[in-house]
Chains A and B, each alone.
Chain A
Amino acid sequence: GAGVSQSPSNKVTEKGKDVELRCDPISGHTALYWYRQSLGQGLEFLIYFQGNSAPDKSGLPSDRFSAERTGGSVSTLTIQRTQQEDSAVYLCASSLSQGINQPQHFGDGTRLSIL
């Protein structure tokens, strides 16, 4: 596809359930990032992948959050035992490489609502 694709676009689930969010980066982009944006907050970094490796997981809020990337392409972010504070828009971005000047291009996000 032309841009970063994320699915689902919206997810509503009950507290305590597990959710899986998917990101398909721009073709050929080796670097992939997950952020989340809560109401009234700035974008908060979660995790960064270079290829299938995650050199920086420092933003994951707790051990309920995990992510993986396979084939250097699609990534999934999994939240286990969801809590209401997990409600946010989860944004995925990709860049051509990990160079510091490389811009990151965002997908449309997954709006997660925990009831």
Chain B
Amino acid sequence: QKEVEQNSGPLSVPEGAIASLNCTYSDRGSQSFFWYRQYSGKSPELIMSIYSNGDKEDGRFTAQLNKASQYVSLLIRDSQPSDSATYLCAARSAGGGNKLTFGTGTQLKVEL
């Protein structure tokens, strides 16, 4: 069983819509969570980080964390074609050293 699970997609949304990306994790000791965007052939780029239950907003991006349900999500408002990429969810636990445990990513396609 993978420790961080994501739907591989592709998730297709029309331009201007809200894209909702979801992630679940199995380690209850996970304390910090990160969303990375990865364009094809490129390295992961940090989009958002979240540590506390609730919502965290940054521009068009909102990260949501529910530790009781072991669930993290990323909302992208007013989706643009340039948002088309693979989105990686990563978790980090105090007992797991400093490594990030990644999901396999969700491919997002924003269509004109």
Contacts and interface: CB of A to CB of B under 8 A. Distances in A.
Interface of A: 31, 33, 35, 40-45, 48, 50, 55-56, 58-59, 91, 95, 98, 100-101, 103-109
Contact of A100 (B45, B90, B98, B101): B98
Contacts of B34: 103-104
Contacts, number: 64
A103 B99 contact: no
A25 to B, nearest CB: 14
Nearest to B42: A108
Contacts of B45: 106
Interface centre among B4, B31, B98, B104 (most CB of A within 10 A): B98
Contacts of B105: 42
Interface in B87-112: 88, 90, 92-94, 97-105
A43 B93 CA distance: 16
Nearest to B103: A42
Given A45-B101, A55-B97, A59-B99, A105 B88 contact: no
